[in-house]
Amino acid sequence: MRPQVAVIGSGREHEERAERVGLLLAERGATVVTGGRGEVMAAACRGAKRAGGTTIGIVPGESRTQANEWVDHVVVTGIGHARNLAVVASGDAVIAVGGGWGTLAELGFARALGRYVVILEPGWGIEDVPRASTPEQAVDLALAHV
């Protein structure tokens, strides 16, 4: 199976960097896993599709119509915020781009499960979680740990 990298986060101001992350992951053969919805999640999927990659969207509700248009495979969980656990668990590594409270929950879960996590600056400042200053560096670090 191909490596799967979860891209988490939110915030319209982070979309450009998220799209770059998605594109770089696809170019390097990794499937992009996200929560399937808007902003950072949509941007990462869009970037991956621009490079001909594959995307998985794990949505919180009960209908696949929640997924953004760049998701190839929709996993409909029906479990609300708890789907954040599935998003990071499905990544062999995790890249955080911006983000709010849900992203903090994902960072916690990712490390609780032993997944490698890198935060693309700017973003949450969490003790013991490595940071990257560019999309290229974030992707390099993530793929070095899958």
User: Which residues of the shown chain bind a copy of itself in the complex (CB under 8 A)?
Assistant: 1, 4, 31, 54, 56, 58, 62, 64, 67, 71-82, 84-86, 89-90, 92, 100-109, 111-113, 125-127
Q: Which is nearer to a copy of itself, 108 or 140 (CB)?
A: 108
Measured from the CB of residue 62, what is the shortest distance to a copy of itself in angstroms?
Answer: 6
Cα 127 to the chain's mean position, in Å? 20
Measured from the CB of residue 80, what is the shortest distance to a copy of itself in angstroms?
Answer: 5
Measured from the CB of residue 119, what is the shortest distance to a copy of itself in angstroms?
Answer: 13
The token pair that represents 121 in the structure block: 């600056």
103-142 CB burial, b ≥16 within 10 A, e <16: bebbbebbbeeebbbbbbeebbeeeebebbeebeebbebb
Measured from the CB of residue 97, what is the shortest distance to a copy of itself in angstroms?
Answer: 16
Q: Which is nearer to a copy of itself, 137 or 146 (CB)?
A: 146
> In 3D, which of 104, 113, 97 has the Cα closest to residue 42?
97
Strand partners, 94: 6, 117
Strand partners, 97: 9, 120
Q: Which is nearer to a copy of itself, 87 or 135 (CB)?
A: 87
Q: Which is nearer to a copy of itself, 41 or 135 (CB)?
A: 41
Measured from the CB of residue 60, what is the shortest distance to a copy of itself in angstroms?
Answer: 9
Q: Which is nearer to a copy of itself, 51 or 137 (CB)?
A: 51
